Chain A
């Protein structure tokens, strides 16, 4: 009786609330009618229409490239920041560093977008660089705001790590750099994968910051979607949304499965090691 208490039913209702809109979006992408909410028959014509829209495909390509480079750079910088925050007792300006790392987690996007754009404008003024504000500019802005999320993911893993493994390696004569690459890195690898995926999706998703930062020459996919949604609902956007939901869900599920498998294996290894130690 208590197993299916009130809170379970509320959880179920909450999940329904989270998933129903996405499901309706997907169902109506197969609608033949141009009126998105009146069902008139099954059709995949909107998908064909989608792939004929060259502007949309170009924008998707820009977004994917930016997201890839963002994820790579963020994981490297995020690992460094997480190591600094969890491993170093104190260094000059640690408080400021911690504040700068966590603040973007909650910073309203309009502020981040505006401030980074003004930085590029000022750089252009003083140094004469950054004028065209293309992919590189969007990349720099995305690395800045995703760094916070990725650092949190990696440092939470680092702080759970059993330090005795690293200490043992050091006792055996390995230097810190070697310990990091041989011991620490393999253990936190799942968090790095999770951080990479997080950076990738956050970058792929961003509308506001990219709108501020990008020059007229580069348009990302969310910017394109936003401008077409402003003109009203369109089944083509439903088709695009369905593809995005499917791809992201598949990637997230695979990532999750890999992570939980890795976690189980790690726990089993730990248990075995402990049993042997006794």
Chain B
């Protein structure tokens, strides 16, 4: 390796700034959340007790498990976790159902058309998330566009109550997260060796059979990446259930928000966050592995 001796190795200059940044703003905050989740709420600023009690001669560590005990004893939290998981799993499946044919169609186009189609899928997600969810209020309202259309066509007589319901939450989530499903699927499907399908058809397989026996299994990595990109953030989703859901559409992100902003109970909010993270740990690890593998595959 030819390098002048007096030059400091640029490798540390490369690693240290982003590493230090992520340690300070990502790793340390988690430690703090964990710490506060074991504290008790007080009427002070900041509104929680310190874990170290200096009032005696020697500092004593005071760990309060009340926040966690409440999460397990109060049925509301358990319900919120379960319904968040259910919403996340169902909407991930819906995204997959709608996104897979879209990604498949784009991957089979010729390259020029492919770029345009891909652009069209991505473009909405560059515009404001909030605005796109807001758009659905005007469509789903009782006197909104959808109900007016259906009544105008004579399909229904009474407007459907869709807005402020769980159905509206599903529509909003699928709408907002669809591009995150299509992109990794496309990236995977476009690499599929078409000769495999030709071979299958030469050997007499019907297109549908070839799809289920070759294309679908080979696109597993794309399905996993897309599903994780949709499922994990949806579990903690706050904006969509808040804007489109009914007041009793329970989701854990909303519970955390309310504990923090409405009840000003920071320790409870921290405990909610820690348990949510624990639930998401396995999917996050799967996602991270898939990401690392994809990068590795590209480099070699």
Contacts and interface: CB of A to CB of B under 8 A. Distances in A.
B21 interface: yes
Contacts of A59: none
A62 interface: no
A208 B239 contact: yes
Interface of A: 5-8, 10-11, 14-15, 17-19, 21-22, 24-25, 28, 35-38, 77-78, 80-81, 83-86, 88, 91, 93, 97-111, 114-116, 118-119, 121-122, 125, 140-141, 143-144, 147, 151-152, 155-156, 159-160, 170, 173, 175-177, 180, 197, 201, 204-205, 207-208, 211-212, 222, 225-226, 229-230, 233, 237-238, 240-241, 244-245, 248-249, 252-253, 256, 260
Contacts of B102: 7, 10-11, 14-15
Contact of A7 (B104, B238, B253, B257): B104
A205 B130 CA distance: 7
Contacts of A175: 3-4, 7
Contact of B119 (A11, A222, A245, A256): A256
A7 B69 CA distance: 50
Interface in B49-85: none
Contacts of A21: 132, 135-136, 139, 175
B117 A11 contact: yes
Contact of B239 (A114, A207, A238): A207
A226 B238 CA distance: 12
B203 interface: no
9 contacts: A7-B101, A14-B102, A21-B132, A110-B273, A111-B276, A240-B131, A244-B128, A245-B127, A248-B126
A77 B135 contact: no
Given A15-B121, A116-B25, A222-B130, A109 B236 contact: yes
B29 A14 contact: no
B288 interface: yes
B277 A111 contact: yes
B130 A103 contact: no
A81 to B, nearest CB: 4
Given A81-B18, A244-B131, 5 more contacts: A14-B99, A19-B124, A22-B135, A108-B280, A151-B18
Given A37-B138, A106-B284, A114 B269 contact: yes
A5 to B, nearest CB: 8
B10 A177 contact: yes
Given A106-B233, A108-B237, A156-B298, A204 B178 contact: no
Interface string B122-145: 111011111110111111010111
Contact of B29 (A115, A244, A260): A115
Contact of A80 (B17, B33, B182, B269): B17
B284 to A, nearest CB: 6
B108 interface: yes
B26 A104 contact: yes
A159 B298 contact: yes
Nearest to B16: A80
A173 B288 CA distance: 38
A107 B17 CA distance: 22
Contact of B3 (A101, A152, A176): A176
B243 interface: yes
Interface string B1-24: 011100100110011011101111
Interface residues of B, number: 94
Nearest to A242: B131
Q: Which residue, A100, A140, A160, has most C-beta atoms of chain B within 10 A?
A: A100
A121 B269 CA distance: 15
Contacts of B148: 37
A35 B283 CA distance: 44
Contacts of B253: 108-110
Given A84-B18, A125-B46, A241 B30 contact: no
Contacts of A88: 11, 14-15
Contacts of B101: 6-7, 10-11, 14
Contacts of A10: 98, 101-102, 105
A115 B18 contact: no
A78 B18 CA distance: 7
A11 B106 contact: yes
B229 to A, nearest CB: 6
B153 interface: no
B285 to A, nearest CB: 9
